[in-house]
Chain A
């Protein structure tokens, strides 16, 4: 028997298990072959296509769609994966509405872009369903490269290096590879354990040794890695979380959104996962939306996203905002937390309205209080545990060119490195490009 939306406190099983399973089904279900054919037929095969330019991994989108049109989704997948080895995940999680699909000429023409993301999924699913790995390794080079962190950047870098004939060791702090793909993205974007399946499939290239449970500082040092390898690639992500700096932040019921999302992603039984009746999420990025929407899908009665700037400034795309609204999440703009209320556990949050003057957020003095028995902080992540001696820039590892750090023989990419949007697809591009640069350095 489900506890219902109105049960007070943070409780599990607010909804029947079947409803929860339904709520967490694929956000963009896979195309059936007919749907893919209809969608692919809409592509105009543009010259120097804008979609291709907008893709951080430069996938030849008109080419792969044409391959789908011509009846070869597997060939389309090879076109995709040659540029982006995590093309399957990117098909699911890329904010296509602000990348390839935003600039599709059919968006200009009809307000309806070719559904590039779903076509990419159709192609990559078709190839992966065959259980084969489409790439083979070059002749061994005898060079050894260490990759720290098995997230999108690390996996992408490792795969490309292995393909080029290098031997790669990947150290991963957690028990599973995948990084944010595995631990940090809304479950409805990566159903059926896709992140883990994709990592397994990627590793089939061979030449990659994955060592889980090994983190920098935990018996692993940059100097040690450098001594044992010809190059090192750092893709350690952002392990820290920003604090609210509001009173009551330590009350039970206050939690980092990334922790909640991770627990949810790793849960065997979502019905057993507790969630509050009144949930407030502080923040305005994808993490905030993922935490808020998933809270609602678990059965929270009221879920509010409180963002301190205006809608236009919100890092989460309009598509994500609309997704949240369609699932019943209330979006509040120009409000910031000033105090978290509660005695023994959070009961509410006091917010202050804001204005933005010359780019700076200022309180107006007017306040309101929202009931909350669970509050998620999603106000950004920070670099945590960067190795000593590596220069930083803006709180991230400083890189130039294709991910070169200040230390010779050490490259970095993904969220931990400076520059680029913190997107899976950007991380994949950075890992791939660093691999090419490492390869050039090792073989010159």
Chain B
């Protein structure tokens, strides 16, 4: 059995699966249930300054996007930070940490963007014995209108400033949670590390309106006839999160810095993908909100089996291993030529590959007598659309052509060497190939 123990910023947890700061971690009762179910760590739902807590709406807080069979693919929320008194949360955090010393317990924080506010709350958090803090610079709704959350996360100078205060007034690790509602994720990440953050976590939720009530003509979730944008999360946002994680992992200014990845992690596979892409651990919310805390058990068994199959003894063996393979488009090998191949035994003859290719791509699939679908190599550009729309896994594959063979589409011999756009003759800015 592979060892899933993960050390992130010196904080040990029995596995790399943490619950993200969100409704599932709002109070002691939920967090204890989460730890009993097997979660390696928890980021406690964001605390605000002392005083009357924020209030939430009293109507629907969530909206959803579904796939087939009403499988929840995307969730949007307009909930704010904790609406419970600060002292109550602090007391509960203290108790839970005492009872679960082997689990990671991080406290998410969001207070006004002034030094006094941070200076006031940090000692109180320090006193709980929690393992670290996460700065919520990502929440895109409600709090941002009050100058907090993503309103801070969208200004790198503020990120650096607040991170510096935290490092000054708090002794344990500081994680900066980034908002994806910006144009270039590298800038806030650089700012966080410039402020001496120990890690960044991302992504927070994405600005979104999930749907519109066509009777009320109002966005959903609808509160008394009106709606507002909320934060989008769940499996649908994973590709966006993966890209942002990769951008930070391969940015020379931040490469190698600790990342806690968040965004649509639903199974062990999602977690493994984020981790090979540079994340030291992952945070999960929507999967737990959809299926309950028990989902972590498949993540644990799945990651463990995969590690055994691959011969990884510890999570540190594979973290970041895919980062060198992320490159810019201009460096992709243009000599690489593949062709789609349809496994006739696996084909169920639905014809979706044909419809997709014939209507929307390159007319590279023949529909022959008896609904036999075959690839016309002379037209196939290996775009992968047929693979993507085929309902049968591994029925269609992309098979690379061997060097020396002639590509029937171009009539050119497949070259063995590597050549990319930077040296391509069609590129007006091409450099002479060495």
The residues of A with any CB-CB pair to B shorter than 8 Å are 37-38, 41-42, 44-50, 105-106, 108-109
- Expressed in whole angstroms, the Cα–Cα distance for A105 and B349 within the complex equals 6
Given the known inter-chain contacts A38-B69, A48-B367, please indicate yes or no for A109 contacting B391, CB distance below 8 A.
Answer: yes
- Expressed in whole angstroms, the Cα–Cα distance for A105 and B347 within the complex equals 9
Query: Is B350 in contact with A105, judged by CB distance below 8 angstroms?
Result: yes
- Expressed in whole angstroms, the Cα–Cα distance for A46 and B349 within the complex equals 8
- Expressed in whole angstroms, the Cα–Cα distance for A50 and B347 within the complex equals 14
Query: Is B349 in contact with A44, judged by CB distance below 8 angstroms?
Result: no
Task: Name which residue of chain B comes closest to A108, CB basis.
Answer: B348
Excluding A47-B352, A105-B348, 12 further A-B contacts by CB distance (< 8 Å) are A37-B70, A41-B69, A44-B352, A44-B391, A45-B352, A46-B350, A46-B351, A47-B355, A47-B367, A49-B351, A50-B349, A109-B391
* Total residue contacts A-B, CB cutoff 8 A: 35
CB distance from A45 to the nearest CB of B (A): 7
B385 at the interface (CB under 8 A from A): no
Query: Is B350 in contact with A47, judged by CB distance below 8 angstroms?
Result: yes
CB distance from B145 to the nearest CB of A (A): 35
CB distance from B395 to the nearest CB of A (A): 10
4 nearest A-B pairs in the assembled complex, by CB-CB distance: A47-B351, A47-B355, A41-B68, A105-B348
In the complex, chain B residues whose CB is within 8 Å of the CB of A42? 68
- Expressed in whole angstroms, the Cα–Cα distance for A228 and B137 within the complex equals 85
* Interface 0/1 of B362-373, CB less than 8 Å to A: 000001000100
In the complex, chain A residues whose CB is within 8 Å of the CB of B70? 37, 41
Number of interface residues of B (CB under 8 A): 14
Task: Name which residue of chain A comes closest to B392, CB basis.
Answer: A109
B354 at the interface (CB under 8 A from A): yes
10 A–B contacts from the bound complex (CB under 8 Å) = A42-B68, A44-B391, A45-B352, A46-B350, A46-B352, A47-B351, A47-B354, A105-B349, A105-B350, A109-B348
In the complex, chain B residues whose CB is within 8 Å of the CB of A108? 348-349
Which residues of B35-78 have CB atoms within 8 Å of chain A's CB atoms? 68-70
Of the listed residues A37, A46, A48, the one surrounded by the most CB atoms of chain B closer than 10 A to its CB is: A46
Task: Name which residue of chain A comes closest to B395, CB basis.
Answer: A109
Query: Is B391 in contact with A50, judged by CB distance below 8 angstroms?
Result: no
Which residues of B336-361 have CB atoms within 8 Å of chain A's CB atoms? 348-352, 354-355
In the complex, chain A residues whose CB is within 8 Å of the CB of B391? 44, 109
Of the listed residues B68, B350, B352, B371, the one surrounded by the most CB atoms of chain A closer than 10 A to its CB is: B350
* Interface 0/1 of B317-338, CB less than 8 Å to A: 0000000000000000000000
Query: Is A50 in contact with B352, judged by CB distance below 8 angstroms?
Result: no
- Expressed in whole angstroms, the Cα–Cα distance for A45 and B69 within the complex equals 15
Of the listed residues A37, A42, A47, A50, the one surrounded by the most CB atoms of chain B closer than 10 A to its CB is: A47
- Expressed in whole angstroms, the Cα–Cα distance for A42 and B69 within the complex equals 8
- Expressed in whole angstroms, the Cα–Cα distance for A389 and B391 within the complex equals 56
CB distance from A43 to the nearest CB of B (A): 9
CB distance from B290 to the nearest CB of A (A): 17
Which residues of B120-178 have CB atoms within 8 Å of chain A's CB atoms? none
- Expressed in whole angstroms, the Cα–Cα distance for A105 and B391 within the complex equals 10
- Expressed in whole angstroms, the Cα–Cα distance for A310 and B104 within the complex equals 71
In the complex, chain B residues whose CB is within 8 Å of the CB of A41? 68-70
CB distance from A297 to the nearest CB of B (A): 35
In the complex, chain A residues whose CB is within 8 Å of the CB of B392? 109
Of the listed residues A45, A108, A109, the one surrounded by the most CB atoms of chain B closer than 10 A to its CB is: A109
Task: Name which residue of chain A comes closest to B365, CB basis.
Answer: A47
In the complex, chain B residues whose CB is within 8 Å of the CB of A46? 349-352
- Expressed in whole angstroms, the Cα–Cα distance for A328 and B101 within the complex equals 65
- Expressed in whole angstroms, the Cα–Cα distance for A50 and B350 within the complex equals 8
Query: Is B348 in contact with A106, judged by CB distance below 8 angstroms?
Result: yes
Task: Name which residue of chain A comes closest to B69, CB basis.
Answer: A41
CB distance from A75 to the nearest CB of B (A): 15
Task: Name which residue of chain B comes closest to A41, CB basis.
Answer: B68
- Expressed in whole angstroms, the Cα–Cα distance for A45 and B352 within the complex equals 8
Query: Is B68 in contact with A44, judged by CB distance below 8 angstroms?
Result: no
In the complex, chain B residues whose CB is within 8 Å of the CB of A45? 352
In the complex, chain A residues whose CB is within 8 Å of the CB of B349? 46, 50, 105, 108
In the complex, chain A residues whose CB is within 8 Å of the CB of B355? 47
- Expressed in whole angstroms, the Cα–Cα distance for A42 and B392 within the complex equals 13
In the complex, chain B residues whose CB is within 8 Å of the CB of A44? 350, 352, 391
Task: Name which residue of chain B comes closest to A40, CB basis.
Answer: B68
- Expressed in whole angstroms, the Cα–Cα distance for A44 and B348 within the complex equals 11
Task: Name which residue of chain A comes closest to B346, CB basis.
Answer: A109
CB distance from A119 to the nearest CB of B (A): 15
Task: Name which residue of chain A comes closest to B355, CB basis.
Answer: A47
Of the listed residues B70, B354, B371, the one surrounded by the most CB atoms of chain A closer than 10 A to its CB is: B371
- Expressed in whole angstroms, the Cα–Cα distance for A108 and B112 within the complex equals 61
- Expressed in whole angstroms, the Cα–Cα distance for A404 and B379 within the complex equals 47
- Expressed in whole angstroms, the Cα–Cα distance for A37 and B70 within the complex equals 9
CB distance from B76 to the nearest CB of A (A): 20
CB distance from A54 to the nearest CB of B (A): 12
Query: Is A50 in contact with B69, judged by CB distance below 8 angstroms?
Result: no
CB distance from B356 to the nearest CB of A (A): 9
Task: Name which residue of chain A comes closest to B68, CB basis.
Answer: A41
In the complex, chain B residues whose CB is within 8 Å of the CB of A49? 351
- Expressed in whole angstroms, the Cα–Cα distance for A45 and B350 within the complex equals 8
Task: Name which residue of chain A comes closest to B354, CB basis.
Answer: A47
* Interface 0/1 of B176-211, CB less than 8 Å to A: 000000000000000000000000000000000000
In the complex, chain A residues whose CB is within 8 Å of the CB of B350? 44, 46-47, 105
Of the listed residues A44, A49, A106, A108, the one surrounded by the most CB atoms of chain B closer than 10 A to its CB is: A44
Given the known inter-chain contacts A109-B391, A109-B392, please indicate yes or no for A48 contacting B351, CB distance below 8 A.
Answer: yes
- Expressed in whole angstroms, the Cα–Cα distance for A47 and B366 within the complex equals 13
In the complex, chain B residues whose CB is within 8 Å of the CB of A105? 348-350
- Expressed in whole angstroms, the Cα–Cα distance for A45 and B351 within the complex equals 9
CB distance from B73 to the nearest CB of A (A): 13
- Expressed in whole angstroms, the Cα–Cα distance for A109 and B355 within the complex equals 19
In the complex, chain A residues whose CB is within 8 Å of the CB of B68? 41-42
- Expressed in whole angstroms, the Cα–Cα distance for A69 and B352 within the complex equals 18
- Expressed in whole angstroms, the Cα–Cα distance for A106 and B352 within the complex equals 13
In the complex, chain B residues whose CB is within 8 Å of the CB of A50? 349, 371
- Expressed in whole angstroms, the Cα–Cα distance for A106 and B350 within the complex equals 9
In the complex, chain B residues whose CB is within 8 Å of the CB of A37? 70
- Expressed in whole angstroms, the Cα–Cα distance for A46 and B68 within the complex equals 16
- Expressed in whole angstroms, the Cα–Cα distance for A42 and B367 within the complex equals 23
- Expressed in whole angstroms, the Cα–Cα distance for A41 and B71 within the complex equals 11
CB distance from B331 to the nearest CB of A (A): 37
- Expressed in whole angstroms, the Cα–Cα distance for A48 and B349 within the complex equals 10
Which residues of B391-433 have CB atoms within 8 Å of chain A's CB atoms? 391-392
CB distance from B341 to the nearest CB of A (A): 19
CB distance from A155 to the nearest CB of B (A): 34
- Expressed in whole angstroms, the Cα–Cα distance for A47 and B349 within the complex equals 9
CB distance from B215 to the nearest CB of A (A): 12
CB distance from A257 to the nearest CB of B (A): 39
Task: Name which residue of chain A comes closest to B373, CB basis.
Answer: A47
Of the listed residues A37, A45, A105, the one surrounded by the most CB atoms of chain B closer than 10 A to its CB is: A105
Task: Name which residue of chain B comes closest to A69, CB basis.
Answer: B68
- Expressed in whole angstroms, the Cα–Cα distance for A37 and B67 within the complex equals 12
In the complex, chain B residues whose CB is within 8 Å of the CB of A109? 348, 391-392
CB distance from B365 to the nearest CB of A (A): 10
In the complex, chain A residues whose CB is within 8 Å of the CB of B69? 38, 41
Task: Name which residue of chain A comes closest to B71, CB basis.
Answer: A41
In the complex, chain A residues whose CB is within 8 Å of the CB of B371? 48, 50
- Expressed in whole angstroms, the Cα–Cα distance for A42 and B391 within the complex equals 11
